[in-house]
Amino acid sequence: MTVAAAQAPSGAAQRIVVIGAGVVGVCVALYLQRDGHAVTLVDRQGPGEGASFGNGAVIGEESVVPVAMPGILGKVPGMLLDPLGPLAIRWSYLPRLAPWLLRFVAASRPAEVERISIALKALMDGAFDAFKPLLELAGAEAMLKRGGWVGVYETEDHFAAAQPYLEVQRRRGVALDVLPPEELRQLEPALAPGFHRGVYYPKVGHTVNNFRLVQELAAAFTREGGTLCRQEVRGFDFAGGDGAAPSAVVTEAGPLPCDAVVLAAGAWSRGLARQLGENPPLDTERGYHMHLPNPGVAPRIPVYSTTYGFVSTPLEHGLRLAGTVELGGLEAAPNWKRAEVLLTHARRFFPGLDTRETEPWMGHRPSMPDSLPVISRGRRHRKAFFAFGHGHCGLMLSARSGKLIADLVAGRDPGMDLAPYRVDRF
């Protein structure tokens, strides 16, 4: 008997298809498997080969501030005019983005920021604990480190401008320490001198290899009897179903029969959600990274540039420079200058940084305009479940989302109000 079967509640087993093998989908599949369900995980790519391949590898309870803050409307012209800025919009995509952008700006109202930050905090609580049983099953406990991370400010004006952001974090009870220059250098000796201030978040952690983490979790899923299918999902078959769920997930290779389905396909979830009777305003933040396999410097902890919106994360296979936001949809070609500019900024941060070997990457973060993910049961089909739209917090909230979806499937009390994350909240 497998570990998952040993934990199964009597008579609860269902055939469940999870669409999407990124870190969220894999964690959903593992938690469902722990409840004794027969789970099939399907994706056109291998585990972790989408957005999960290139994230900043950071996991932390400090991410309680929405992307849209008061004053964001006045910054939109700059987003259109500066294609290399921390937050940029492609002119060609603006007509299609407009409905999402209007909701994004609406989410920046002070009352909305407070509501959203409370909802983000509720998800962040327990994010690390939710990983524990999955890492134990995979034998990958050493892949998460909890040494904190630090945000750095270059001038007093930058630090003053960040006060509304820091005040939201303080209201949510986030642990943080403001460091003067000398303490910042003691915390992270690899940093260049000259930074005005640092804010250290002691409860933040990171994984030493975000891609390998997903692969290790997926391997544990298959060892425990899960089925992994590398197929493109085309839609759903409702013939012969009871109306509560599709009778099968239809792929390029044929149907996958199911009693329930979980849609966790990241930025590609919207079209399939429509086939399940929902129309969430999902779009994508195109995220870039530059990976340095031999950087010549070794920061102790992740360092976040508050000015340029990227993080430098030490990994077991090099240094990852990741971050910034480009709103440009799923189809446009990458603007590799957005990855190259990360090198320009990072050279100022780390004296002696070796940039002779570089590996650029671009991926699609699935993003909702209110910075909250969708973690929800379907309205039209009660055995259709949704777990997507995590934005910058996919890795952080992957295990937490898996546990919450398993609770919804089982009809258990999740221990929190899931209304802010409903698929039909707009």
Structural tokens at position 46: 């291998």
Answer left, alpha or beta for residue 412, where phi above 0 means left and psi between -120 and 50 means alpha.
beta
* Exposure on the CB side of residue 397, measured as CA atoms within 13 A: 28
Question: Bigger pLDDT: 322 or 240?
Answer: 322
> Using a CB cutoff of 8 Å and minimum separation of 24, what contacts does 312-315 make?
312/346, 312/349, 312/350, 313/56, 313/57, 313/58, 313/206, 314/206, 315/57, 315/208, 315/209, 315/210
Q: For residue range 14-23, list pLDDT tens digits in order.
A: 999 999 999 9
Fold of 70-92+146-205+283-367: D-Amino Acid Oxidase; Chain A, domain 2 (3.30.9)
List helix spans (H) across 83-209.
94-106, 110-124, 127-138, 156-161, 163-171, 181-187
DSSP state of 366: E
**Nearest 5°: CA angle at 155, between 149 and 158?**
75
Domain boundaries, the chain: 1-69+108-145+206-282+368-426, 70-92+146-205+283-367
pLDDT in tens, 112-125: 999 999 999 999 99
Predicted model pTM = 0.95
Which tokens in the block code for residue 218? 């997926």
**Residue 7 confidence class, pLDDT cut points 50, 70, 90:** very low
Q: Let me know if domain 1-69+108-145+206-282+368-426 sits in CATH 3.50.50.60.
A: yes
Q: Is the dihedral of CA 323, 328, 331, 335 positive or negative?
A: negative
From 392, 343, 400, select the one nearest 372 (Cα to Cα): 392
Write out pLDDT tens, residues 52-85: 999 999 998 889 999 999 999 998 888 888 899 9
Q: What is the pLDDT of residue 243?
A: 72
How far apart are alpha carbons 81 and 351 in whole angstroms? 31
Question: Which phi and psi angles does 196 have, rounded to 5°?
Answer: -75, -40
- The answer to whether residue 384 scores a pLDDT higher than 50 is yes
Structure confidence at residue 241 as a pLDDT band (50, 70, 90):
low
Q: What is the pLDDT at residue 325?
A: 85
The mean pLDDT of the chain is 94
Alpha carbon 378 to chain centroid, angstroms? 21
